């Protein structure tokens, strides 16, 4: 068990705080991170978590089969709320999937070197979240056997998708996002897969990692292209991250429904996505660093930085909530104003106030330094943010549809047990994939962590102690 020997949360402007604690050398970094996936058995907690996740993933599969066998009537989706849980869950999961690429691409372009400790599993989380997200609109189609109609593939109707619909833009945005995130994750992992291949002690491991490492051997001629490719991918992924949730928000903003028809939606959705994504990264990072002793890599400084981002994006989301009200009032449209007054004080007021308290009020605790550095506090806040962000999507979708223009067609949405179990099941799928990733793949980008260590600077003294150099930022 290593202890924090250096307080890297203290900012001294004359000296960069080290990002890797514990007086590591390159070899010990490799050893500490590889040993997680090389261990004969993972910790007992992993087995327990995996068993629970697997059960819920199974429930997810059973619920989807039941849905296919019976029809979408098994859900609470009912006139006038035709977009119930499936779309709420879709937007929730796709939002979570934004943190990974934000950390890997945008923070990379901004040269935020602290991202190296968390980018690998934030990216993994992104991919698994997008898998969960993509499932929901897929099973929401009703006639799943003709789901290929959403792609521009010649079909028996001799018709094509209607490219002026935001729902179709979603197909392209989410599809591109998934592909690019997967490529980014995989390319970043190539050198680390090669490390696992070179350390493999059994033939099976050497072959499995060897095939996926593609024969990577750390040639500087390859690194040269690799670094350029990584930079280009980051530059491509940055506008992509911003576009994906903007396109998702168009699903609503382009419609005429009061409460949806708002120009603030794209930036508001993007801020919310980053907010919820970071909360989920924290929710996974805190147990992972405790369980596998990664405190030297995911240091208190990393956690504090993420808490600051949660505070900022949470406040942006709060600003968007207020601005929506202002716009509704200022528009002079009685329908707009009713939609928002109804959100806060109507039949769904309980959901609205859960959303406001979890997303806006509670994260304000991160103004205090002790809260940003207290594991229990930040874990609890992040769980509540996850909850609040799910309710945000619920509030936007359900309250707007349940009471729109005609009082005679108003209704109240109630989810069925299938809705609830499908939502719980999607968490099971997400956690199952994430736990498998933790077990078999390098959880931390070893090559990148070595790159930011002070000893990696070829112009400095070899073997410097961390903290004596200015290489780490």
Partner 1 sequence: MNDPTTTAAPTDRPSAAPPAIPREPGEVIGKLYGLLAEFETPAAIMVAANRVREAGYKWWDCHTPFPVHGLDKAMGIRPTILPWLVMAAGLTGAVTGVVLQWYTNATNFDAWFIVPITGYEFLVSGKPMWSLPANIPVIFELTILFAAIGCVTMMLLLSKLPWLYHPCLKNERFLRASDDRFFIVIEARDPLFYRRKSQEFLKSLGATAVEALEA
| 38 part of the interface to partner 1, by CB under 8 A | no
- Site residue total, partner 1 (CB under 8 A): 78
Q: Contacting partner 1 (CB under 8 A), which of 39, 45, 146, 187?
A: 187
Tokens of 261: 């028809």
Residues across the chain? 473
Closest distance to partner 1 from the beta carbon of 169 (Å): 4
Q: Which is nearer to partner 1, 343 or 450 (CB)?
A: 450
Which SS3 state, helix, strand or coil, does residue 78 take?
A: strand
- CB 125 within 8 Å of CB 434: yes
Q: Contacting partner 1 (CB under 8 A), which of 107, 125, 240, 444?
A: 240
The Cα 473–Cα 466 span in angstroms is 12
Q: Contacting partner 1 (CB under 8 A), which of 176, 290, 327, 416?
A: 176
Q: Contacting partner 1 (CB under 8 A), which of 16, 23, 374, 451?
A: 451
Q: Which is nearer to partner 1, 134 or 191 (CB)?
A: 191
Q: Contacting partner 1 (CB under 8 A), which of 79, 156, 202, 408?
A: 202
Sequence-ordered list of residues with C-beta below 8 angstroms from that of 257, at least 6 positions apart, any chain: 400, 401, 404
Between residue 213 and residue 232, which ones bind partner 1 under the rule CB under 8 A?
A: 214-229, 232
| 201 part of the interface to partner 1, by CB under 8 A | yes
| 168 part of the interface to partner 1, by CB under 8 A | yes
Torsion angle defined by CA atoms of residues 155, 157, 160 and 161, in that order, rounded to the nearest 10 degrees: -100
| 156 part of the interface to partner 1, by CB under 8 A | no
3-state secondary structure 144-209: HHHHHHHCCCCCCCCCCCCCCCHHHHHHHHHHHHHHHHHHHHHHHHHHHHHHHHHHCCCHHHHHHH
Sign for the pseudo-dihedral over CA of 434, 104, 366, 353: negative
| 26 part of the interface to partner 1, by CB under 8 A | yes
| 106 part of the interface to partner 1, by CB under 8 A | no
Which SS3 state, helix, strand or coil, does residue 415 take?
A: coil
| 169 part of the interface to partner 1, by CB under 8 A | yes
| 158 part of the interface to partner 1, by CB under 8 A | yes
| 462 part of the interface to partner 1, by CB under 8 A | yes
The Cα 274–Cα 242 span in angstroms is 10
Span of 26-34, 56-64, 256-264, 401-409 interacting with partner 1 by CB under 8 A: 26-34
Closest distance to partner 1 from the beta carbon of 18 (Å): 17
| 310 part of the interface to partner 1, by CB under 8 A | no
């Amino acid at each position: 068990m290593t202890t924090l020997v250096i307080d890297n949360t203290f900012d001294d402007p004359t000296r960069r705080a080290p990002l890797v604690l514990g007086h590591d050398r390159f070899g010990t970094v490799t050893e500490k991170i590889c040993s997680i996936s090389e261990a004969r058995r993972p910790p007992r907690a992993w087995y327990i978590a995996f068993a629970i996740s697997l059960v819920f993933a199974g429930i997810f599969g059973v619920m989807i089969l039941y849905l296919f066998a019976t029809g979408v009537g098994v859900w609470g989706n009912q006139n006038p709320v035709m977009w119930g849980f499936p779309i709420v869950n879709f937007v929730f999961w796709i939002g979570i999937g934004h943190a990974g690429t934000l950390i890997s691409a945008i923070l990379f372009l901004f040269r935020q070197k602290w991202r190296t400790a968390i980018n690998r599993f934030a990216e993994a989380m992104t991919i698994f979240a997008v898998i969960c997200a993509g499932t929901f609109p897929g099973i929401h189609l009703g006639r799943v056997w003709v789901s290929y109609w959403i792609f521009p593939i010649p079909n028996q109707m001799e018709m094509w998708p209607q490219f002026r619909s935001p729902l179709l833009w979603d197909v392209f945005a989410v599809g591109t996002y998934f592909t690019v995130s997967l490529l980014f994750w995989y390319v970043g992992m190539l050198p680390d897969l090669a490390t696992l291949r070179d350390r493999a002690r059994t033939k099976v491991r050497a072959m499995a990692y060897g095939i996926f490492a593609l024969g990577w051997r750390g040639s500087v001629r390859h690194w040269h292209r690799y670094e350029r490719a990584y930079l280009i991918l980051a530059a491509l992924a940055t506008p992509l991250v911003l576009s994906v949730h903007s396109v998702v928000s168009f699903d609503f903003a382009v419609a005429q429904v009061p409460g949806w028809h708002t120009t603030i939606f794209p930036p508001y959705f993007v801020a919310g996505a980053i907010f919820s994504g970071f909360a989920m990264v924290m929710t996974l990072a805190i147990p992972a660093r405790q369980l596998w002793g990664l405190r030297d890599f995911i240091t208190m400084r990393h956690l504090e930085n993420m808490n600051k981002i949660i505070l900022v994006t949470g406040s942006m989301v709060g600003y968007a909530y207020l601005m929506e009200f202002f716009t509704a009032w200022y528009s002079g449209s009685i329908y707009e104003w009713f939609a928002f007054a109804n959100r806060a004080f109507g039949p769904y007021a309980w959901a609205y106030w859960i959303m406001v308290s979890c997303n806006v009020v509670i994260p304000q605790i991160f103004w205090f330094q002790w809260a940003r550095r207290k594991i229990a506090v930040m874990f609890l806040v992040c769980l509540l943010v996850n909850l609040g962000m799910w309710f945000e999507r619920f509030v936007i979708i359900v309250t707007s549809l349940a009471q729109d223009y005609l009082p005679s067609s108003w209704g109240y949405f109630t989810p069925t047990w299938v809705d609830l179990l499908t939502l719980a099941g999607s968490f099971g799928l997400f956690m199952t994939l994430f736990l498998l990733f933790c077990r078999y793949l390098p959880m931390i980008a070893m090559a990148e962590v070595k790159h930011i260590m002070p000893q990696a600077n070829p112009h400095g003294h070899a073997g410097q102690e961390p903290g004596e150099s200015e290489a780490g930022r």
